[in-house]
Amino acid sequence: MEDNEIKICFLEEGEQVIEEMETLLLDLEQASDKKETFDGIFRTVHNVKGSARAVGFDALGAFCHELETYLLVYKNGEQEVTREVINRLLKSRDIIAAAFNVYKKDLNAVFDFNADFGAEGSGDEEASADAGGPGLVVGKKATSSNDGSVRVNLQRVDKLINAVGELVVLDSVLRQQSIKAMEQTILKTVEQASKIIREVQDLSMSLRMVPVKPLVQKLQRISRDTSTAVEKSVDFRVVGEDLEIDKTILDSISDPLVHIVRNAIDHGIEAPEERVVQGKPVAGFLELSFSQEGGKLVIRLRDDGKGLDQQRIVAKAIEKELIKTGEGMSEQQIFDLIFAPGFSTKAAVTEVSGRGVGMDVVRTSVEALSGQIDITSKLHKGTEFTISLPLTVAIIEGMVVKTTKENFIIPFTQVSETVKITDDGLKKGSESGTLLNLRGRYLPVYSLRELLGDKKAEKKNGIGIIAKSSRVDFIVLVDDVVGQQQIVVKPLGAELAGYKRFIGSGVLGDGKPALILDLAQLADEELKRVKDVE
């Protein structure tokens, strides 16, 4: 049963990949940068291969492997890509698409990759016609299975969310007007209506959020199959599988995660004999965690394997002509090399991790989501990948605070507590800055007005927000806390993207937009400014 779900999932996702493959193939004839297009095709084939094997469509996987081998000759530029080659590749794509359609009708169908092509005719067209745009399955909860769910186009969900947002704003206007009208019956009806409107808002926003569980299941399966294939024993753990994340993010992060999980098992974790020599448990430790930190979705993959060997990476990069010398490179710069296209630390091509097409895809996908991927690694101790992604359309619980004129939003995830602050409770010094003694501990106090560039000195009365940050603890002083509300995070336009201190914006109860602050970033900028002055 579980396996079937993964298979259905794969077939749904694969549709897009096949479409992409076709577009790329068609582009190939005209493309000026043939290499890039070809690399793209190679990646799509590699993706299908990997996922097909993972979910148990072995015949499809084998077919893709053959196709990959065929492609490799052209990828390395050994032979020119002619029209006939493209025709052949398009035919192969059609075979894969046909296989998908057969599998869709019967998950356990046997598809003959040599003969079935050509036999499929009108049935294929019919099937591809109703494969619409990006959709999502709306289920009740993580536990609900396929029954009782509806596929809805994602764009329609977004339109709904926007329309409901407008409704909420109008509702608060209506409420104010009805209070003025002083008509009890109207007031009562308006009250009832707003309750329902709030409910509709909550519901509509939850539609975009999908559980990570199916992805986790897929990764568990991949972990199992990969470790079996490479004859390693792996203890794969997942933390935070109940988290719900944005559908768009989930879709885009799925393939990259498959790649890094597979890489960690194949390249990261040592063979059992070696682990024994190293004094490590025979089973390799691999932990994948999903969490929400400071307005970011953070995905971590940690292993206790052999870690990244800087010398080997440099040597390999020189051999691959990615760099001329490793001298003067920082640890981080060296680690970054593994994301370069065409880089693979394993000398031999392995069945599992393939030919080094993985890591550059991972970085491209993460960056396409305006996310970031970081590596920390210690030789013989292990490696940790940290992928942090913006929540984009996700909803946050925010605190609405007041300074000078405008209101700002501070995500609850950044706040640990709030305290009332009076001017005489503060210690001030020209060298120490402003400090507050909080239960015996001195914490620096920044006024939000100052942080936002208002240079005028003012009285330090107000509410102190104690910020939760991984770097330093500090207090941000605001004039007042106006309230708290759920906020749909809306990204700021590209024209304001340089302003890192604003995570995004949200619409307040009165319909006015407000900026969402990143307190840690603000404090960092302030500290930098102080340093620059000195």
Partner 1 sequence: MKDSQKFLSFIVGSESFAVPLLKVREVIGMPEVTAIPQAPAHVVGIINLRGQIITIFDLRSRLGSGTKGEQPTVIICEMPFGQMGMIVDMVSSVLSAESEQISEVPPGSRAANHDFITNIYSQEDELILMLDVEKVIGRDIKVTQATSAA
Contact positions toward partner 1, by CB under 8 A? 161-163, 165-166, 169, 367-370, 405-406, 452-454, 490-499, 502, 505, 507, 511-515
* Token code pair at residue 497: 């993207």
CA gap 337, 356 in Å, rounded: 12
Least CB distance from residue 488 to partner 1, whole Å? 8
Q: Which is nearer to partner 1, 320 or 490 (by Cβ)?
A: 490
| CB nearer to partner 1: pick between 368 and 530 | 368
State the nearest-atom distance from the C-beta of 255 to partner 1, in Å.
18
Q: How far is the CB of 173 from partner 1 (least distance, A)?
A: 12
Q: How far is the CB of 534 from partner 1 (least distance, A)?
A: 21
CA–CA gap between residue 513 and residue 398 (Å, rounded): 13
Cα–Cα dist 110/13, whole Å: 20
Closest CB 161 distance from partner 1, rounded Å: 8
Question: Shortest distance, CB of residue 163 to partner 1, whole angstroms?
Answer: 7
From the CA atom positions of the chain, what is the Rg in Å?
27
Q: Token pair 């400071």 is at which residue?
A: 294
| Residue 532 CA neighbour count, 13 Å, CB half | 6
Residue number, 111 or 502, with CB nearest to partner 1? 502
228 vs 404, beta carbon nearer partner 1 = 404
- Which CB sits closer to partner 1, 206 or 416? 206
CB of 297 to partner 1, least distance (A): 15
Beta 150-153 vs 135-138: how paired, if at all? antiparallel
**Which CB sits closer to partner 1, 20 or 94?**
20
Residue 280: both structure tokens together: 């490590």
> Where is 478: in which H helix or E strand?
strand 474-478
The Cα–Cα gap between 308 and 383 comes to: 7
Rounded Cα distance between 415 and 343, Å, is 42
Residue 94 near residue 117, CB atoms below 8 Å: yes
The nearer residue to partner 1, 340 or 426, going by C-beta atoms, is: 340
User: Cβ contacts of residue 411 below 8 Å, gap of 6+?
Assistant: 294, 295, 396, 397, 398, 399, 503, 516
Report, in Å, the least distance between residue 470 CB and partner 1: 24
Q: Which is nearer to partner 1, 342 or 491 (CB)?
A: 491
> In DSSP terms, which residues pair with 386 in a beta bridge?
300, 374
- Closer CB to partner 1, residue 326 or residue 511? 511
CB nearer to partner 1: give 313 or 393. 393
Helix (H) / strand (E) element for 486: namely strand 480-488
Q: Is 52 exposed, middle or buried (0-12, 13-18, 19+ CB in 10 A)?
A: buried
Length of the chain, please? Answer: 534
The minimum distance between CB 247 and partner 1, in angstroms, equals: 16
- In the sheet that holds 284-293, the strands lie side by side as 234-239, 284-293, 296-303, 382-390, 372-378
Alpha carbon separation from 43 to 36, 199, 359, 526 (Å, rounded): 11, 43, 11, 43
Using an 8 Å Cβ cutoff, are 359 and 367 in contact? no
* Residue 213 Cβ vs partner 1, minimum distance, rounded to whole Å: 27
* CB 500 to partner 1: min, Å: 11
Nearest-angstrom CA–CA distance, 413 and 181:
40
> Considering beta carbons, is residue 214 or 256 the nearer one to partner 1?
256
